Amino acid sequence: MRIVCLDLEGVLVPEIWIEFSRRTGIAELSRTTRDEPDYDKLMRGRLAILRQRGLGLAAIQEVIDAMGPMDGARAFLDALRADYQVIILSDTFYEFARPLMRQLGMPTLFCHSLVVDGSGMIADYRLRMPDQKREAVRRLKELRFTVVAAGDSYNDTAMLGEAHGGILFHPPDNVVREFPQYPVAREYASLRREIDSAFARAAGLG
């Protein structure tokens, strides 16, 4: 059985924090895992900025509600799900992702959760588990699934390396330079070709 594991932001939907930064004018919130590979450092910085500005969960959800999937993402995902099982492995949060998941046809999503206080401010975040993308791929392999993974950023490279085949989708140049072992796709048609090719290679090794 074959499973495709996809990152969410930068692959199927725009980067939530970049869009929020653009709409609020807070430039510091535009940093993502493309810029900072230490996820805890990145999130602690984001939460500190939100507290300083008095911005709670509702303000972020308002931006997310106005967002949609990237052009062609829903059609790509629908076609992919016709041939493979698909799981979205993301470092976003369920509180952020629900509106976007509805627009994508409610694919299976593994991500994290937020701790919100009584005033609606985000007090903390809770990881589903450490290194959850790689661990999810590892467990799927233990269940004898063949797994191909695609993502765009530093925090995706562990799952790409764990999968039978890994693909970078529209990554920044710094990630391409540091991880030249992964093929690069920059639009959905080429990503689909790379996914199919990766499964074909994995079958040839089996």
Q: Is 7 a catalytic site residue? A: yes
Say which of 7, 19, 162, 194 is annotated catalytic.
7
Rg, Å, the chain Cα set: 17
Contacts of 120 (CB under 8 A, 6+ apart): 56, 57, 58
The angle formed by the CA atoms of residues 131, 135 and 140, to the nearest 5 degrees, is 155
Q: What span, in angstroms and rounded, lies between the C-alpha atoms of 86 and 46?
A: 30
3-class secondary-structure state, position 98:
helix
Alpha helices in the chain (DSSP H): 16-24, 39-53, 57-66, 73-83, 94-103, 132-142, 157-162, 173-178, 188-205
Q: Is 124 a catalytic site residue? A: no
Q: What span, in angstroms and rounded, lies between the C-alpha atoms of 43 and 45?
A: 5
Say which of 9, 15, 152, 194 is annotated catalytic.
9
Instruction: Please give the positions annotated as active site.
Output: 7, 9
